């Protein structure tokens, strides 16, 4: 990012499935007791993905038993007497009912089924950090900044995000202690870590978790760039390089911090300009701008700007540029 800082920080799109709890029905007498259930892998497949559904009944003596599989009521002949079946996930809003009937040698039967309904959830990340008005990219999270993650579930029906409950975890810690109805976003302040893991469980009004997803939020370092302010054209949106040659007797330079907390400039921050390593007094009414004047026919100097929050040590940035004339 020399001429114009470009960055993009987009929300992470996650596609998951809602797997209803297994229902088991037993008819006849089972000498060993117990039951069976169906286990899906992956647990939350994407639309159109192959899903393995496996019968788990190891608490029963099924020696000599037969297994019959049904998908949406249709017997799957190819899966006869298999302990698992492969199915293809449907589209958003569809439901797939998978059932297995176990017939024991003594005549007793056991039925287990699961319903797979596709659910998509978008996780959107927003950082409350500074960028100049002309910057076309997204604001990035930095240490000590406020970050918001929002979950937008799509189930194929008209239920709005506010009609679900959400359990949020940030860095493994449950926020607010438990699930919260309608709380489809979480806001937190990042620390020294380079990445923050954020996860969410989305729960419907029947108390079922319809999807669970997590994302890794990368934490960026604040950045600082210098721009020339032209008396006729205003701020030139092309950042000065590390070495800059200016023509004329005078120039105005503006320092623009990127990705520091948006509240930094309103909290009486520490602002400092240095010339060749020595602090100088800035006479400008806007302390982010400074006027430089030539004092000889040829030379160069290092111009440095530093801004930081005296109450929040994680928030601050400094950089320098060498200007020649």
Are 262 and 277 found together in one domain? yes
Are 190 and 262 found together in one domain? no
Give per-residue pLDDT as tens, 209-247: 998 899 999 999 999 999 999 988 999 999 999 999 988
Residue pair 152/124 in contact (Cβ under 8 Å)? The answer is yes
pLDDT confidence of residue 249: 84
Residue 5 is assigned to a structural domain of this protein: no
Give per-residue pLDDT as tens, 76-97: 999 999 999 999 989 988 999 9
Phi, psi (degrees; rounded to nearest 5) at 298: -160, 145
Residue 308 is assigned to a structural domain of this protein: yes
Residue 209 is assigned to a structural domain of this protein: yes
Domain end marker among 85, 117, 149? 117
Q: Which two tokens stand for residue 165?
A: 């409950």
Residue 7 is assigned to a structural domain of this protein: no
Residue 4 is assigned to a structural domain of this protein: no
pLDDT confidence of residue 230: 92
Q: Determine the 3-state secondary structure of 150 from DSSP.
A: strand
Q: How far is CA 77 from CA 57, 64, 81, 170, in A?
A: 21, 18, 9, 46
Are 227 and 204 found together in one domain? no
Are 141 and 234 found together in one domain? no
Burial of 265 (0-12, 13-18, 19+ CB in 10 A): middle
Q: Compute the average pLDDT of residues 273-277.
A: 95
Are 39 and 100 found together in one domain? yes
Q: Determine the 3-state secondary structure of 133 from DSSP.
A: coil
Are 190 and 244 found together in one domain? no
Are 123 and 95 found together in one domain? no
Four-CA torsion 292, 294, 295, 301, nearest 10 degrees: 70
Residue 12 is assigned to a structural domain of this protein: no
Number of domains in the chain: 3
pLDDT confidence of residue 311: 80
pLDDT confidence of residue 312: 78
Are 131 and 107 found together in one domain? no
> Which residue has better confidence, 140 or 293?
140
Return the minimum-mean-pLDDT range out of 33-42, 111-120, 158-167, 290-299: 33-42
Residue pair 71/96 in contact (Cβ under 8 Å)? The answer is yes
Confidence band, pLDDT 50/70/90 cuts, at residue 31? very low
Whole-number CA gyration radius for the chain: 30
Are 207 and 235 found together in one domain? no
Domain end marker among 150, 184, 218? 218
Give per-residue pLDDT as tens, 33-63: 346 899 999 887 778 888 999 999 887 888 8
Range(s) of the domain holding residue 175: 119-218
CATH number at 269 reads: 2.60.40.10
Give per-residue pLDDT as tens, 289-300: 999 988 777 888
Are 71 and 96 found together in one domain? yes
- Where would I find the H helices in 157-307? none
> Which residue has better confidence, 170 or 12?
170
Q: Could you give the CA distance from residue 228 to residue 251 in angstroms, rounded to a whole number?
A: 7
Residue 3 is assigned to a structural domain of this protein: no
Are 127 and 109 found together in one domain? no
Residue 133 is assigned to a structural domain of this protein: yes
Are 246 and 258 found together in one domain? yes
Q: Which two tokens stand for residue 3?
A: 């001429």
Output b/e per residue, 282-305; b: 16+ Cβ within 10 A: beeeeebbbebeeeeeeeeeebbb
Q: For all residues of the chain together, what is the average pLDDT?
A: 86
Domain end marker among 71, 95, 117? 117
């Amino acid at each position: 990012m020399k001429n114009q800082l470009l960055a993009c920080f987009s929300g992470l799109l996650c596609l998951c499935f809602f797997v209803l709890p297994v229902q088991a029905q037993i008819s006849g007498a089972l000498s060993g007791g117990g039951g069976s259930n169906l286990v899906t892998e992956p647990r939350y497949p994407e639309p159109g993905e192959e899903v393995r559904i496996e019968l788990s009944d190891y608490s029963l003596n099924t020696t000599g038993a037969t297994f019959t599989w049904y998908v949406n009521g249709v017997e799957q002949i190819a899966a006869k007497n298999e302990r698992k079946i492969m199915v293809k996930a449907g589209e958003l809003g569809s439901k797939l009912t998978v059932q297995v009937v176990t017939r024991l040698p003594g005549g007793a039967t056991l039925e287990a089924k699961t319903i797979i309904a596709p659910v998509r959830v978008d996780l959107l990340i927003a950082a409350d950090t500074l960028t100049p008005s002309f910057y076309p990219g997204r604001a990035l999270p930095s240490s000590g900044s406020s970050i918001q993650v929002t979950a937008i579930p799509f189930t194929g029906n008209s239920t709005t995000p506010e009609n679900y409950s959400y359990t949020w975890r940030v860095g493994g810690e449950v926020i607010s202690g438990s699930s919260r109805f309608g709380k489809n976003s979480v806001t937190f302040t990042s620390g020294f870590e380079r990445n923050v893991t954020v996860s969410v469980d989305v729960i419907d009004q029947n108390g079922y978790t319809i999807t669970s997803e997590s994302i890794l939020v990368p934490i960026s370092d604040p950045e600082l760039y210098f721009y020339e302010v032209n008396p006729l054209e205003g701020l030139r949106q092309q950042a000065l390089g590390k070495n800059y040659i200016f023509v004329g007797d005078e120039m105005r330079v503006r320092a623009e911090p990127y990705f520091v907390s948006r509240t930094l400039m309103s909290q009486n921050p520490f602002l400092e300009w240095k010339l060749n390593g020595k602090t100088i007094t800035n006479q400008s009414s806007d302390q982010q701008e400074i006027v430089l004047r030539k004092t000889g026919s040829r030379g160069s100097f290092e111009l440095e700007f530093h801004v930081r929050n005296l109450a929040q040590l994680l928030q601050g940035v400094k950089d320098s540029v060498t200007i020649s004339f």
